Structure formats: C-alpha cells, structure tokens
Structure 1
C-alpha cells in the first residue's frame, strides 16, 4: 500500500465510483440553481404552522439518515469482505470493484435524499436558508461516505484471502 506504483491502479479502479459522487454533487447544485432561477414559480406555500411541522419532521429524518447510512455502509463493507466468491473466474479486484460500487451507490443515494428534502421544503414555501441547510448536510454526507482507497483495499485483500482458504 505504501508503494505508489501499487496505489496508482487502485485510484483508477475507483474512477466510476468518483463519477457517481460527482453526479450526485451536480444534482445538488442543480436543485439550488433551479430554485434560484424559477423558484417563485415552483413554490406552493403552505400555512406557516404546517410548514414548521413538516420541516421539523424532515430535519428529524435527515438527522436519522446519517447514522442509518453509516450502519448500512458498515454492514455492506463487511458483506463485501465476507461474502463467498462466486464460481466465476473473475478476479478479486473486479469482484471488489463491483461490490464496492454498490456500497458507494447506496451511500450516495441515501445522503442525496437529504438534499431532496431541502428541495421539497423550498417548494412547500420555505426560504433559501432551509434549502442551503439540507443541501449542505447532503454534501457533508457525500464527503463522509466518499469512496476510500483503504476500504477498497480491505475488500480486495479479504476476497483474495478467500481463495487461499
């Protein structure tokens, strides 16, 4: 792992994973841009009391989403390492790449939902502040659950070790 020659192919293995993260960030940016350009036409304001209740519930959902995503990601990473190898002849790197891609897609999708909640609140009549808070939380989640080379290496090593057992 300390050898830069070994880590270079690993970085290129995660290119698709990073493209997924980039697409999710572009979607967040798109929500903000849409709200700034055509926000007045999108908004269907609810009464203040209803909005406060909905906003409170959605904040609670966003708060619960982060530990839930962390738990699901942890379970997926362990499953990626411990699931038996299929009978096909695909190598440990290809198998690890596809398994880790699934983990990244699930993690990014779960934290993207938090950004969508901000868009929903904006449409329901809340201001840009709520949109920015939810979008920022979603972007933070994308940073926290980004593809990591060490996690990927652990999966490769665990799958490779299965072959020798």
Structure 2
C-alpha cells in the first residue's frame, strides 16, 4: 500500500478509534462516579452473597476474554469472505463494536459489585481487566488491510 493509501486507510479507522476512546472514557466515568458518590451508590448486600456474585462475575469475565478473541477471529474471517457491497470499514466497525462492548461488560461488573457494597479494590480489578481487553481488541491496521485485500480480490487473506 502506498503512503497515500495508508493515510486513507488510517482515516477510515477514525470511527473505530472513537469507539475505543468512548469505551475507555466510560470506564473512567465509572471509577470517578464511584469515588465521587461512593457510599451513596452502595446498597450494602450481605458479604456471603457478594462473594458468590463476585466469584460468578470473575468467572464470566475470565471466560469473556478468550470468547471475545474467538469471536473476533470468526468475525474477521466473515468480513473477508461474506458477499455483499458493504465497505470494508463498515464490516470492520461491526467487529470492533462487538468486541469492545464485550470488554465494556467487564467494567460494568466492577460497577455492579461496587454498588452491591464491595470496596474499590474490586472496582479497580474489573476496570483494569476491561481496559486490558479494550487494548487487546483495539482496531489494527493489518486486520483492516486484510479485509480490504480480500474484498478487492487481489490477494487471499493469510490463514493461520
């Protein structure tokens, strides 16, 4: 791809990056809201119930990471092979939105646990996991270029 082509492709990923920034900002808003409103937000569920809920949410969060990776892989291949006139940017945007939303749910788990009465440590753990997931599933130029190449018919995508 020429430098002009690279710049055009980079500009086409602006909306994708806006989604990532929005996801990161919501995590920051959750944390600041918990610090600002603190005790007013907490409803104080019994400790034994919170431990059970926290454990279940940790398991769901841990399972979400490999599932999101698998789903992203499947969606990328569908983006490359699915017939239709949908541009590569829109196809890739769907992939980014779905995987970013999955990572955002992990941050929501932290907010929920804080509202149930857990301390800041649980909020930070879930928020950090969510930020890590957002980073792992950020838009990647090579993935986008692979979709463009596959749709143009110039080159088949590299399959592992």
TM superposition score normalised by structure 2 = 0.93
How many correspondences in the alignment? 154
The match for 1:132 is 124
The match for 1:51 is 50
Structure 1, unaligned runs of 5 or more: 87-93
| CA displacement at 1:154 relative to structure 2 | 0.3
Q: Please state if 1:102 is matched with 2:94.
A: yes
Query: Within 5 Å, which residues of 2 pair with 1:51-130?
Result: 51-86=50-85, 95-130=87-122
| CA displacement at 1:35 relative to structure 2 | 0.1
The match for 2:3 is 4
1:119 is paired with a residue of what secondary structure?
helix
* Alpha-carbon distance between aligned partners in 2 of 1:111 and 1:50, rounded to the nearest angstrom: 25
* Equivalent pair of 1:85/1:159 in contact (CA under 8 Å): no
| CA displacement at 1:85 relative to structure 2 | 2.5
| CA displacement at 1:159 relative to structure 2 | 0.5
Give a deviation string over 1:80-136, Cα, whole Å, max 9, x none.
0000134xxxxxxx7100000000000100000000000000000000000000000
* Alpha-carbon distance between aligned partners in 2 of 1:42 and 1:130, rounded to the nearest angstrom: 15
| CA displacement at 1:7 relative to structure 2 | 1.3
Structure 2, unaligned runs of 5 or more: 155-160
* Alpha-carbon distance between aligned partners in 2 of 1:70 and 1:144, rounded to the nearest angstrom: 9
Give a deviation string over 1:55-81, Cα, whole Å, max 9, x none.
000000000000110111111000000
Give a deviation string over 1:2-57, Cα, whole Å, max 9, x none.
x4332111111100000011011110000000000001100011111111111000
Structure 1 runs (4+) deviating above 6 angstroms are: none
TM superposition score normalised by structure 1 = 0.90
